[in-house]
């Protein structure tokens, strides 16, 4: 067994064990920290597959931004840790479903000849980041711009959902003024009604 195999088995077993711990632990903070561990180990795995750029992006963007966001939300919400009252039936059901999926997909993996699509692995002279950039800015430039737009939409949506505007100062609302009609302000009363 060479050093890369040992590293693969170590990293993969850490990821699998901590993901099992993530789904059975009740404490949300512990789950978020386990997710950090899983993402770090996945970054190591991606480095072993020579995807350096994406490994760094995973650590910087995911661990640095998304999981910190998770931790912030957990901190802000003050959730009391409740005992998971999932019935035993649900646990059995979930294990059953995932076992069926595992067996089916395992058969697909083992009876498919993946060796036929494997090619000679060449290490790019220019580097992984250069290759991704070249592909991104030539063939996939439109998708790249759409992604930028999606991120803009996400920013605006996240702010708009949580923005509650309080009126602190007295100011005129021109739209409301224009929409105002005579009937809404003036009411003509007859003599008998007075």
Site for other proteins in 14-73 (CB under 8 A): 15-16, 19-20, 22-24, 26, 28, 31-32, 35, 38-39, 42, 45-46, 48-51, 53-54, 57-58, 61-62, 65-66, 69-70, 73
Q: What are phi and psi of 193, to 5 degrees?
A: -75, -20
CA 35/CA 32 separation, integer angstroms: 5
CB of 130 to other proteins, least distance (A): 10
3-class DSSP assignment, residue 118? coil
CB of 42 to other proteins, least distance (A): 6
CB of 185 to other proteins, least distance (A): 35
Burial of 103 (0-12, 13-18, 19+ CB in 10 A): exposed
CB of 37 to other proteins, least distance (A): 12
In terms of Cα–Cα distance, which of 82, 2, 75 is closest to 33? 75
Q: How many residues bind other proteins (CB under 8 A)?
A: 84
Report the residue from 3, 111, 118, 188 that binds other proteins according to the rule CB under 8 A: 118
Output the CA–CA distances (angstroms, integers) from residue 9 to 16, 17, 109, in the order listed: 10, 12, 19
One character per residue 134-173, x = contact with other proteins (rule: CB under 8 A) = -xx---x--x---x--xx-xxx-xx--xx-----------
Residues 86-105 that bind other proteins (CB under 8 A): 86, 90-91, 93-95, 97-99, 101-102, 105
Output the CA–CA distances (angstroms, integers) from residue 132 to 54, 61, 185, in the order listed: 10, 17, 65
């Amino acid at each position: 067994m060479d050093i890369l195999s040992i590293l693969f088995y170590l990293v993969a077993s850490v990821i699998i064990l901590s993901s099992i711990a993530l789904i059975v632990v009740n404490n949300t903070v512990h789950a978020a920290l386990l997710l950090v561990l899983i993402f770090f180990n996945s970054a190591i795995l991606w480095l072993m597959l020579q995807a350096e750029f994406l490994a760094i992006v995973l650590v910087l963007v995911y661990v640095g931004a998304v999981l910190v966001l998770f931790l912030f939300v957990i901190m802000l919400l003050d959730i009391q840790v409740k005992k998971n009252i999932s019935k035993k039936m649900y646990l059995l059901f979930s294990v059953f479903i995932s076992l069926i999926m595992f067996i089916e997909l395992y058969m697909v993996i083992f009876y498919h000849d993946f060796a036929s699509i494997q090619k000679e692995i060449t290490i790019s002279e220019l580097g992984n980041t250069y290759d991704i950039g070249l592909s991104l800015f030539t063939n996939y430039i439109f998708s790249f711009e759409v992604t930028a737009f999606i991120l803009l939409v996400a920013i605006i949506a996240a702010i708009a959902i949580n923005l509650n505007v309080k009126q602190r100062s007295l100011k005129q609302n021109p739209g409301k003024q224009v929409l105002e009609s005579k009937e809404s302000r003036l009411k003509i009363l007859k003599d008998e009604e007075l």
